[in-house]
Amino acid sequence: MPSDLWNFAQRLYGRPGVEAACLQLQAAGADVCLLLCACWLEQSAQTYSPQRCQQLQALAQPWQQQVITPLRQLRQSWRAAAQQQPELAILREQLKDLEQQGERQLLIQLQACALSWPALDGDAASDWLAPLAAGATPLDALQVLRAETHRA
């Protein structure tokens, strides 16, 4: 059964401009799964804290490095050759499916982590997007994500 974060991420990613914004931020070094999680946390008004942010980053980083990024790199390296070799095109699509399954598993882990947090008192801000963008500078792409999060 898909997680709430997974369903939210799929809906948000399908909104106008979101895929392009995510890919732009990914090219600038951001983790798209963390960005989608940030949008989900903001929409659900989850209170931000630096410790919680670090917890999500610590969870995501090894999974990205060991699972998602190697699959993505291999899939992308086969792009040109797959246009000439139908067999390789099929394998490339299978890699894409594995990459998406890896992203789904990461989103499930991020959701489980966030759901374990106790409520925080006070009127603390819930700005998760900027801290989890990990210094990615395409501010227009972050604005697209923020705007579409509030519409999703």
Mean pLDDT of successive 10-residue stretches along the chain, which has 152 residues: 78 95 92 96 88 96 96 96 96 96 97 87 74 81 90 76
pLDDT at 120: 67
> Which pLDDT score, from 0 to 100, does residue 2 have?
42
The confidence score (pLDDT) of residue 1 equals: 28
User: How far is the C-alpha of 38 from the C-alpha of 142, rounded, in Å?
Assistant: 11
- Residue 7: what are its φ and ψ, rounded to 5°? -65, -45
Rounded-to-integer distance, Cα 58 and Cα 68, Å: 15
**Residues 76 and 141: beta-carbon distance below 8 Å:** no
pLDDT given at position 119: 72
Count the neighbouring beta carbons within 10 Å of the beta carbon of residue 17: 15
pLDDT value, residue 3: 56
pLDDT (0 to 100) of residue 73: 95
